[in-house]
Structures are given as structure tokens and as C-alpha cells.
Amino acid sequence: MQVTFTRTAERRYRVRVDRDMAPSLVMDPAPGYDPYLPHDLLHFIVEGHWGLQDGIFGQLAAGGDAKTFELADQARDRRQARRQVRRSARRNRMSGGDIALSEKLAGVALTAWMVHTGRLPMPENAGAALEEAGVKETDVIGVLDRLDESAHRWHSLAVGEPLTLTWPWPERRSGRRTA
């Protein structure tokens, strides 16, 4: 599964997901723009780093739509669209068990990266946030290099330029949760 993050305006971006086992999806505009780490790019990195195969992008790899993506091909007929909506709804119910954890880890990772880059002072509740997310400080330190690299790549894009990443696990046809 290929995920393309495209900077569509000064403060906007789009996410396109191209899958082999299900139709391509798009979210445009995508929420949470940041000049260095847009929200969905952050989720992609976090889910890959912590092996969350059943988070937002894992649900997409299982054929779902994470309740935020739409079919990329707007030229589909109504019958096909209804059928795809039913399939996505079923796959959304059968996958995505790590989405809440992904949100917690994204918050912890973003805060750590902002402290690391000097954009934010160390928050007083940092220890509590780590505990709530179920991770140790060393785990979070391990993702900082990937965040640095991705932030640099994203920040250097001009409007209209894409950043394409490959989801590290195979697509799943059934939507069953992974271990």
C-alpha cells in the first residue's frame, strides 16, 4: 500500500492511499496541517515505529476507510459506491483496534519531537503522558530520528509536491485484526 501526502496549498495537504486489494482512497483536505509534521504523516510514522498494524493505516490496509477517507475515483456509479461503503463499514468494524493507542502515541511523539527541536519546553505532565500511552522514554527517543527525517522532507516540499511512503505490512483482504 502506497500512501502519498501532497502539500496542496500553503497550509493544506491531501492524503492518497493506493491499494492493490481495494480501491484507492483520498482525504482532501486532510486535518491537522503542520509545516513540519502534518497529523496523518505523524500517525503513519508512529504506527510504523510501534508496529501498530491495526491503527488508522492498518485499517486502510484491511480495506476500510477509517471513516475519514473517500474513494479516489469520483466517476464510480451509485451501486458500486453503496457496495464499497458497506464493505468499508464492515472492515472498519473488524479492524482499527489500535486507533486510540495511535492517537496517544502520536501526541506523545509529537510533544517529544517538539521538545527535541526546541519548539516546546518539556511539559510537566510528560511522565504521565508516557504512562498513559504505555511507553518508556527510550521508546519515544527511538522515533525522533524518523520524525526529524520526515519533518525535513515534508518542510522542503513546495505546494503541489508529494511525499510517497510505503506501508510496511501487507494488505489484508478479510479485515481481521492482526496480533
Other beta carbons less than 10 A from residue 177's beta carbon: 16
What is this structure's pTM?
0.84
Residue spans per domain, the chain: 2-166
pLDDT in tens, the chain (179 residues): 999 999 999 999 999 999 999 999 999 999 999 999 999 999 999 999 999 999 999 999 999 988 899 999 864 555 555 555 555 544 444 455 788 999 999 999 999 999 999 999 999 999 999 999 999 999 999 999 999 999 999 999 999 999 999 999 999 875 444 44
**Is residue 9 classed as helix, strand or coil in its secondary structure?**
strand
pLDDT in tens, 84-122: 555 554 444 445 578 899 999 999 999 999 999 999 999
Alpha helices in the chain (DSSP H): 39-49, 56-61, 78-94, 99-116, 126-133, 137-141, 144-155
**Distance from the first to the final alpha carbon of the chain:** 19
